[in-house]
Amino acid sequence: MEDVEKKFWQLPKGDVHNHLHLSAGILRLKEQYPGTRFETPESFDGFDGMMRFIEEYVNTLLRSSEDVVSLMDMAIRSAIDDHVIRLEASVDIHLVKYFDGSLENFMSAVGTLKQKYAHQIDFRPEIGLKKDISLDEVYQNGMACIRSDVFSGIDIYGKETNQDLSGFKKIFEEARALAKKTKVHIGEFSDHNSVERAIETLGPDEIQHGIRAVDSENTMEMIKNRGIRLNICPHSNIALGAAGNYLEHPLRRLYDAGVNLTINTDDLLLFNATISDQFAQLIQQGLFTFEEIDAIRRNALNED
């Protein structure tokens, strides 16, 4: 491990853009499933390529609720391995199906993990909803999750382009009323207008990715004026082709424009880059100073 990476590895960090069942470290996965042929590619063929990879390799590991719990458990331990002390991670509501459709068992499994690691990490699960989910599911299971003590927030994700998000309005209002954190994935592959529309429609606390805001002064102003934080995952963006490489990534321009941001893993299992890895890359490639990255590190731990 290079010096700068080691320094950051030792420091406490927050990971606030993480999809729990896709966030096990590869070494932990291989320990748990010896003989698995799981290899992460350098890059995926875009978002659809990633979805095919998940279908082909990750979903074959998932046969039972024990497998789901095991993947989530490994993800929490992998975060602890990188000295992440606050983990805000989405737990996809479709995982309920592995619990024989029992929402109660699903929530209880997540709650048990929270307790199990309570002395090591501030794990704040968020209920994760794909944008193409049926609204019946949103307002039955989704609503029950947001009203339970297990979940600290809500995150919606999936295909970004041409999605009407108005169906999620009421559950976002409910989350806000319960003082839970609201997040939406937008502006990774979709343009800055879609970022503005998502803000107008849902009024999220934070945006997952949001990097295309860089293309519009107006969008960046809107993000700043409303106190919205962008939780960015540079390595994931590069692996999926949303940015060519670290040098071309919009991160620096967003930072210079004064946008509030953090750096996160997204899916450690797919992208294989910890927060410390990415901090080191950004410094080694001359994009940020140690002090700047350190301020970004603290930013993920600052607010409640």
Closest CB to Zn ion among residues 208, 262? 208
Query: What is the DSSP annotation of the chain?
Result: --HHHHHHHHS-EEEEEEEGGG---HHHHHHHSTT------SS-SHHHHHHHHIIIIIGGG--SHHHHHHHHHHHHHHHHHTTEEEEEEEEEGGGGGGGTT-HHHHHHHHHHHHHHTTTT-EEEEEEEEETTS-HHHIIIIIHHHHHSSS--EEEEES--TT---GGGHHHHHHHHHTT-EEEEEESSSS-HHHHHHHHHHH--SEEEE-GGGGG-HHHHHHHHHTTPEEEE-HHHHHHTTSSSSTTT-THHHHHHTT--EEE--B-HHHH---HHHHHHHHHHTTSS-HHHHHHHHHHHHH--
Q: How far is the CB of 44 from Zn ion (least distance, A)?
A: 13
Closest CB to Zn ion among residues 16, 199? 16
Give the separation between CA 69 and CA 114, rounded to whole angstroms. Answer: 12
* 266 near Zn ion, rule: CB under 5 A: yes
Chain residue at closest Cβ approach to Zn ion: 266
**Site track for Zn ion across 171-210, x = CB under 5 A:** -------------------------------------x--
Closest CB to Zn ion among residues 5, 188? 188
**Active-site residue, 217 included:** no
Question: Which of the ranges 41-49, 80-88, 110-118, 259-267 carries the binding residues for Zn ion, by CB under 5 A?
Answer: 259-267
Question: Which of the ranges 31-39, 243-251, 258-266, 284-292 carries the binding residues for Zn ion, by CB under 5 A?
Answer: 258-266
Within 10 Å of residue 86's Cβ, how many Cβ atoms? 17
Closest CB to Zn ion among residues 73, 126? 126
Question: Which of the ranges 56-64, 73-81, 216-224, 265-273 carries the binding residues for Zn ion, by CB under 5 A?
Answer: 265-273
Q: Give the count of residues interacting with Zn ion (CB under 5 A).
A: 2
- For 196, residues 6+ apart whose C-beta sits below 8 A from its C-beta are 218, 219, 222
Sign of CA dihedral 193, 198, 203, 209: negative
Q: How far is the CB of 201 from Zn ion (least distance, A)?
A: 19
**Site track for Zn ion across 216-255, x = CB under 5 A:** ----------------------------------------
**The two structure tokens encoding residue 231:** 């939780």
Q: How far is the CB of 175 from Zn ion (least distance, A)?
A: 18
Closest CB to Zn ion among residues 141, 208? 208
Question: Which of the ranges 30-38, 74-82, 163-171, 266-274 carries the binding residues for Zn ion, by CB under 5 A?
Answer: 266-274
Question: Which of the ranges 29-37, 91-99, 211-219, 263-271 carries the binding residues for Zn ion, by CB under 5 A?
Answer: 263-271
Nearest partner of 182 among 153, 157, 160, judged by Cα: 153
Of 53-92, binders to Zn ion (CB under 5 A) are: none
Q: How far is the CB of 101 from Zn ion (least distance, A)?
A: 25
Which among 188, 200, 221, 248 is annotated as catalytic? 188
Q: How far is the CB of 209 from Zn ion (least distance, A)?
A: 7
Question: Which residues are the active-site residues?
Answer: 188
- Residues forming contacts to Zn ion in the complex (CB under 5 A) are 208, 266
